[in-house]
């Protein structure tokens, strides 16, 4: 997955990558030239006292260093740029994919995990790309080049390379093999901490009310401690790595000086060659270290790449049609034919044998006890879910065949838990209709019985709304989301329990104002209160996922036992004693 991901998302940057490799090559070759030039200065200049030679070679060295500096700075610059661009592209693909997910895929991954995947996991892969461009590309060139140059200086000491390289490689391999499992664990634990934190933030009011803070604090502490533990394990091995590398490096240097010194004594090696040899050995060992640093990241990035790939390869279960139908003539009729729906992972269907028609210009009410499946039924119309069997038709066309944008533009949905976005009252209303004028907004607010309280707010339409709409009351939130649906004047209105937080008077006023503007539309109202739906043209009684009665209020009083029970229970509540 890692390779596939890199190949796919780096493909647009092939040119840049070629430039990076070329620059790194130049920089590495330059840095390999320096020690041998230095050796020349010592052996031919310093030893013989030839100042001219020192100046000449010295200026060549300066030029080479300048070359090297420029090349490696530009290589890092392009490397960083490419890696960041790669990360940006990847994040935007993930975002687009997630946006296409239906509620089914959302609940499969869960929001916290989706967030970690799109931030931390992408960062891991991006970091690997960055390290590869800046370090990994250099390592093999430096290693091979270093060995060749070292051998050119002196063949007699080559056994030192043969000992030092495997020693270093071996000990690094040992350390890294300890780090990999820890990295794997780390990613999972970051997910956990994210989940705990999100849940606590979302439920902070409930936590306070139920004095669950101490318990939740402990829960967070545990997750935090677990992440700390695994990070510490990684950190300890990482910390051990440097001393080990330095030890081997220094031992190798001592050995070069020791054995090289003997060879100089016997006259089989020159002083300059010894210094050059020393530098080459350090360069070779450094290249191994750079390679391992990059390789350390591979397992972690691979875990992350798998997690990212999982998102990218999950297709939404609500598949949009290839060529969606966008032109239909009947206005807003919604029909359910033999619809059955089962939630993923559930054994029993939540909805069974649903057959009903909601006609344009009529109000269809859906009533039933909690958990009867009302919300689920309504969700099938805008395709938040697809029916597991049977068909849902809008304007006589199967919703699966309609162009999704067309379908949604026909529907004004007020969900059971209305959600408002960070911004202002006006920006939230514009979700319903992007080019809405102020007059249109006030009209929608007026019908939704929200005009009064918006007018009372000092900023009016520009009053700020917090994320989720938590700075307005539940009933105000409901009315604002009703206004948001009204402003687009859709053909189909879906009100899922949208009047529950309103007092009876406001409820009645809202419904009569609504009736005036929805004469042509199909209105589907989910409600709990009989008073809200009494006058509906058609009332559908839902019990445990099945339709047990359809008719008007008076018809149902005659024929539907469940309806009678609901009515009686509410009358009892209204007239106590």
- Which among ligand M5T, Mg ion, none contacts residue 35 (Cβ within 5 to 8 A by kind)? none
- Put residue 466 in one of left, alpha, beta given phi > 0 → left and psi -120 to 50 → alpha: beta
Residues 6+ apart with CB under 8 A from 400: 319, 321, 383, 386, 391
Site for ligand M5T (CB under 6 A): which residue of 87, 145, 349, 373?
373
Site for ligand M5T (CB under 6 A): which residue of 317, 416, 535, 552?
416
Site for ligand M5T (CB under 6 A): which residue of 367, 372, 454, 547?
372
Query: Minimum CB separation from Mg ion for residue 205, in Å?
Result: 21
Q: What are the percentages of helix, strand and coil residues in the chain, rounded to 5?
A: 65, 10, 25
Size of the site for ligand M5T (CB under 6 A): 13
- Which among Mg ion, ligand M5T, none contacts residue 343 (Cβ within 5 to 8 A by kind)? ligand M5T
- Which among Mg ion, ligand M5T, none contacts residue 518 (Cβ within 5 to 8 A by kind)? none
What length does the chain have? 577
CB atoms within 10 A of CB 62: 10
Nearest Cα neighbor of 388 from 344, 425, 358, 323 is 344
CB 134 within 8 A of CB 286: no
Site membership for ligand M5T, residue 196 (CB under 6 A): no
Helix 51-100 × helix 14-40 angle, to 10°:
160
Contact set with Mg ion (CB under 5 A): 374-375, 416
What is the x/- site pattern for ligand M5T, positions 489-528, by CB under 6 A?
--------x-------------------------------
Site for ligand M5T (CB under 6 A): which residue of 374, 410, 479, 484?
374
Nearest Cα neighbor of 376 from 178, 224, 551, 546 is 546
Query: Minimum CB separation from Mg ion for residue 81, in Å?
Result: 50
Closest-by-Cβ residue to Mg ion is 375
Nearest Cα neighbor of 192 from 202, 180, 203, 200 is 200
| DSSP of 117-129 | IIIIIHHHHHHHH
Cβ proximity to ligand M5T: between 323 and 370 the closer is 370
* CA distance linking residue 377 with residue 394, whole number of Å: 14
CB 260 within 8 A of CB 118: no
- Which among ligand M5T, Mg ion, none contacts residue 373 (Cβ within 5 to 8 A by kind)? ligand M5T
State the burial class of residue 209 (Cβ atoms within 10 Å of its Cβ: 0-12, 13-18, 19+).
exposed
Site membership for ligand M5T, residue 349 (CB under 6 A): no
- Stretch of 19-27, 229-237, 252-260, 370-378 lying at the interface with ligand M5T (CB under 6 A): 370-378
Site for ligand M5T (CB under 6 A): which residue of 376, 428, 506, 538?
376
Query: Minimum CB separation from Mg ion for residue 411, in Å?
Result: 17
Site for ligand M5T (CB under 6 A): which residue of 194, 279, 304, 375?
375
Site membership for ligand M5T, residue 299 (CB under 6 A): no
Cβ proximity to ligand M5T: between 35 and 368 the closer is 368
Residues of this chain that bind ligand M5T (CB under 6 A): 343, 346, 350, 368, 370-376, 416, 497
């Amino acid at each position: 997955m890692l390779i596939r991901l890199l190949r796919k998302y780096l493909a647009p940057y092939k040119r840049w990558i070629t430039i990076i490799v070329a620059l790194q090559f130049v920089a590495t070759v330059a840095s390999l030239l320096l020690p041998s030039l230095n050796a020349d200065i010592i052996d031919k200049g310093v030893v013989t006292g030839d100042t001219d030679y020192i100046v000449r070679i010295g200026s060549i060295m300066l030029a080479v260093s300048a070359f090297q500096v420029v090349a490696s700075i530009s290589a890092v610059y392009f490397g960083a740029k490419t890696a960041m661009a790669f990360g940006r592209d990847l994040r935007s693909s993930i975002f687009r994919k997630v946006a296409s997910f239906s509620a089914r895929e959302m609940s499969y991954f869960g929001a916290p995990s989706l967030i970690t995947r799109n931030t931390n996991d992408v960062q891991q892969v991006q970091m690997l790309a960055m390290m590869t461009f800046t370090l990994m590309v250099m390592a093999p060139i430096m290693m091979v080049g270093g060995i060749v140059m070292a051998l050119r200086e002196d063949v007699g000491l080559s056994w030192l390379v043969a000992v030092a390289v495997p020693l270093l490689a071996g000990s690094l391999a040992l350390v890294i093999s300890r780090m990999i499992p820890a990295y794997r664990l780390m990613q999972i634990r970051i997910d956990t901490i994210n989940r705990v934190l999100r849940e606590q933030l979302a439920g902070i009011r409930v936590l306070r009310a139920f004095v669950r803070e101490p318990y939740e604090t402990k829960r967070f502490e545990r997750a935090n401690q677990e992440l700390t533990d695994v990070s510490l394990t990684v950190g300890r091995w990482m910390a051990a790595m440097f001393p080990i590398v330095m030890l081997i490096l220094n031992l190798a240097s001592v050995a070069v000086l020791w054995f090289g010194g003997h060879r100089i004594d016997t006259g089989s090696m020159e002083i300059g060659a010894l210094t050059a040899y020393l530098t080459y050995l350090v360069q070779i060992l450094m290249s191994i270290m750079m390679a391992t640093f990059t390789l350390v990241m591979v397992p972690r990035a691979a875990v992350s790449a798998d997690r990212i790939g999982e998102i990218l390869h999950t297709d939404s279960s609500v598949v949009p049609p290839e060529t969606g139908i966008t032109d239909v003539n009947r206005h807003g009729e919604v029909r359910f034919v033999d619809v059955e729906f089962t939630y993923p992972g559930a054994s029993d269907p939540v909805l069974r044998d649903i057959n009903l028609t909601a006609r344009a210009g009529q109000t269809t009410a859906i009533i039933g006890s909690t958990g009867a499946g009302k919300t689920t039924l309504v969700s099938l119309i805008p395709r938040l879910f697809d029916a597991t069997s049977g068909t849902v038709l809008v304007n006589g066309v199967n919703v699966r065949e309609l162009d999704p944008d067309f379908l949604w533009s026909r529907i004004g949905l007020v969900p059971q838990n209305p959600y408002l976005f960070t911004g202002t009252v006006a920006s939230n209303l514009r979700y319903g209709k992007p080019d809405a004028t102020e007059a249109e907004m006030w009209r929608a607010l007026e019908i939704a019985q929200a005009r009064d309280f918006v007018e009372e707010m000092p900023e009016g339409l520009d009053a700020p709304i917090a994320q989720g709409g938590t700075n307005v009351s539940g009933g105000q939130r409901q009315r604002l989301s009703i206004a948001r649906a009204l402003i687009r004047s859709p053909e189909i209105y879906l009100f899922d329990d949208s009047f529950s937080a309103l007092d009876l008077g406001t409820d009645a006023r809202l419904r009569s104002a609504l009736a005036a503007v929805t004469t042509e539309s199909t209105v589907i109202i989910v409600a709990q209160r009989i008073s809200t739906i009494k006058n509906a043209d058609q009332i559908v009684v839902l019990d445990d996922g099945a339709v047990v009665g359809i008719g008007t209020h008076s018809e149902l009083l005659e024929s539907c036992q469940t309806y009678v029970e609901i009515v009686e229970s509410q009358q009892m509540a209204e007239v106590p004693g």
